[in-house]
Structure 1
Amino acid sequence: MPRTRKKGPELTRTRRPAQRLSGIDPHALSARLYELHNEASKRPDARDAAQEALSRWPGDAAFYNVLLWAQQHAEHLVGQEAQEASVLRVQLSQLLRERLDPVQLRAVEDARAAGATWERLAPALAVDSVTGAFNKARRLAVTVRGLAEDRRSPEAARALEARIAAEALERQRREEAEDARYPLVQAAARRVLAAYERSELCTQPEDYWITELAEVIDDRTNPLERANLALILRNATAEIYRNTRHTDREAAATDEAGQALEAAASLTHPPRTS
């Protein structure tokens, strides 16, 4: 009787999202590359070509030219220096690629807004079909605007588009709600500013938000600006209450000022829990 083989656990391959470099200064990478080549050129056994190459250094900020220069003169480095310089080139290349993605996406979006067809964009995107151009632009959008777990795939592109649409709808609803209560917020802001002008609030000369409130209260012309007034008023009242923790003063010096402050806080802050 033939023996049956036991099946082991099914192995599945998890598709991990692409990672992006962060917190790395490309100028520092470029400067370190120069430093490595400069040190190598000063050794007693350094070739004249290594010293001459430094005179053609493109500059720390010209990242693409730095990469071409470092690649051309890579043979001047040996051992650990050559290894470190190569890794720096890899990092700088990756950073340059990541910086170019949003630039290319914006260019595609500007081209579409200007009336360029996908037929015209296809060769510019190095693809040979309208579908290829459209899908490449969608994958680029996922790379630039997607979450860390998103993949460059049609499914991720559709999910991203749905998420952006939902966020836009939520933003519109929030702006409409803020716009509806704008008269109340503006009236509360005027009461706070009146108390501020009477020097009845705990403010400091360097306070930012109360000054910002005074400057913008009369120029709210669209729903987004009117919605932002509530945020500015919230920050201004928080700034006043925060000042009381660093001084021996009360938030408001009069009952009228205190009522204005409480009215503003009730409009712009979530209810306080005990």
Structure 2
Amino acid sequence: MPKGRPLRPQSADLRKLRQQLYQMHVDADDQSLALWPDDRDSIGILSYTRTHHRALPSATFENKRRGEQAGLRLTLIRHLREALDREELAALEDARSGGLTWQAVADLIGVEYPGSASNRLDRLRASAAAPDGRRTPAAGRKAVAEEAAAADRERRAQLAVARRFNEVCGVASNLLRQIDDLTLNEDAEEWLAAAQEILEEESPTPTAQQGLIAYISLAATEIKLFAATQGVPAARTKEAESALNDARNL
């Protein structure tokens, strides 16, 4: 964590903070509580607690309620700022994808130059990617690049699984056709049944596709081990033996 940056607070329980502020004013017998805003209005509550700060007793050695109230306000403000940053980030990205120019965005957020608006977006991206890291445009651009690279790796991995799945489908189907000529125990039957269910799915998910590979490999291994313990052939025909070998070689 960069030197001088404060520890980021945990996720806010805004309702609890608002309730704590309200209870402090109740305990102080605040005579203006009829003006207390809606319990969900964080900004309104901040405004009220600021203008009615002196409703709490003055600070003494044993009683520092005004300071505690101000501390709760600061915590609430910090959490609201984080929430607003997330909303601003989403709005800026939607504005750009929706066709607004950088100059139009700059005008909307109150900065003079298009580059300043772009930098604002990058800073928000940096904060979202690494809350305790450096909040700079360069860090934001790096976070976007890393996210794109991760998405590309995921896409490539899914394509590899899909190609592998097509290969395994043929091996699995062939093994299942030879099931009557294989030496099976309950575990092998269970793995093969699970494989059959995936083959019957219209559009197996990437997780299911990986599952098929695992089930066929497990079934083939189990068949070989069980046959060895029983002292019998794992396959009773050449076709079944060939299918089993293909499954073991996945």
TM-score, normalising length: structure 2:
0.65
Are the equivalent residues in 1 in contact too, given 2:126–2:137 (CA < 8 A)?
no
Deviation at 1:62, TM superposition (A): 1.6
Query: Compared with structure 1, are the counterparts of its residues 160 and 69 closer, same or farther at alpha carbon in structure 2 (3 Å cutoff)?
Result: same
Equivalent residue number for residue 62 of structure 1: 41
Query: Compared with structure 1, are the counterparts of its residues 148 and 101 closer, same or farther at alpha carbon in structure 2 (3 Å cutoff)?
Result: closer
Are the equivalent residues in 2 in contact too, given 1:122–1:132 (CA < 8 A)?
yes
Equivalent residue number for residue 251 of structure 1: none
Deviation at 1:65, TM superposition (A): 1.4
Equivalent residue number for residue 208 of structure 2: 229
The CA distance in 2 between the partners of 1:35 and 1:62, in whole Å, is 16
Secondary structure of 1:139's partner? helix
The CA distance in 1 between the partners of 2:155 and 2:6, in whole Å, is 32
The CA distance in 1 between the partners of 2:66 and 2:79, in whole Å, is 20
The CA distance in 2 between the partners of 1:228 and 1:18, in whole Å, is 41
Secondary structure of 1:181's partner? helix
Instruction: Read off the aligned partner of 2:73 and give its amino acid letter.
Output: R
Equivalent residue number for residue 103 of structure 1: 87
Instruction: Read off the aligned partner of 1:118 and give its amino acid letter.
Output: W
Aligned match for 1:31, one of 10, 19, 27: 19
The CA distance in 1 between the partners of 2:108 and 2:14, in whole Å, is 27
Instruction: Read off the aligned partner of 2:33 and give its amino acid letter.
Output: L
The CA distance in 2 between the partners of 1:117 and 1:18, in whole Å, is 35
Calculate percent identity across the aligned residue pairs: 30
Deviation at 1:183, TM superposition (A): 3.7
What root-mean-square deviation, in Å, do the aligned CA atoms of Structure 1 and Structure 2 show?
3.4
Instruction: Read off the aligned partner of 1:138 and give its amino acid letter.
Output: D
Unaligned runs of 5+ in 2: 177-188, 216-233, 235-246
Are the equivalent residues in 1 in contact too, given 2:7–2:132 (CA < 8 A)?
no
The CA distance in 1 between the partners of 2:39 and 2:112, in whole Å, is 37
Are the equivalent residues in 2 in contact too, given 1:27–1:61 (CA < 8 A)?
yes
Verify: 1:166 aligned to 2:149, yes or no: yes
- After superposition, residues 111-126 of structure 1 pair within 5 angstroms as 111-126=95-110
Equivalent residue number for residue 207 of structure 1: none
The CA distance in 2 between the partners of 1:61 and 1:217, in whole Å, is 47
Q: Tell me how many residue pairs correspond in the alignment.
A: 193
Query: Compared with structure 1, are the counterparts of its residues 17 and 163 closer, same or farther at alpha carbon in structure 2 (3 Å cutoff)?
Result: farther
Structure possessing the higher radius of gyration over alpha carbons? 2
Unaligned runs of 5+ in 1: 1-13, 42-49, 192-199, 202-209, 221-225, 238-254, 256-263, 268-274
Secondary structure of 2:8's partner? coil
Instruction: Read off the aligned partner of 1:162 and give its amino acid letter.
Output: A
The CA distance in 2 between the partners of 1:158 and 1:84, in whole Å, is 39
TM-score, normalising length: structure 1:
0.60
Verify: 1:20 aligned to 2:20, yes or no: no
The CA distance in 2 between the partners of 1:66 and 1:184, in whole Å, is 62
Equivalent residue number for residue 231 of structure 2: none
Deviation at 1:155, TM superposition (A): 2.6
The CA distance in 2 between the partners of 1:71 and 1:230, in whole Å, is 59
Cα deviation 1:117-168 (Å, max 9, x = unaligned) = 0010002222100111111111111111x22452111331232122122212
Secondary structure of 2:35's partner? coil
Instruction: Read off the aligned partner of 1:57 and give its amino acid letter.
Output: W
The CA distance in 2 between the partners of 1:186 and 1:40, in whole Å, is 73
The CA distance in 2 between the partners of 1:27 and 1:217, in whole Å, is 46
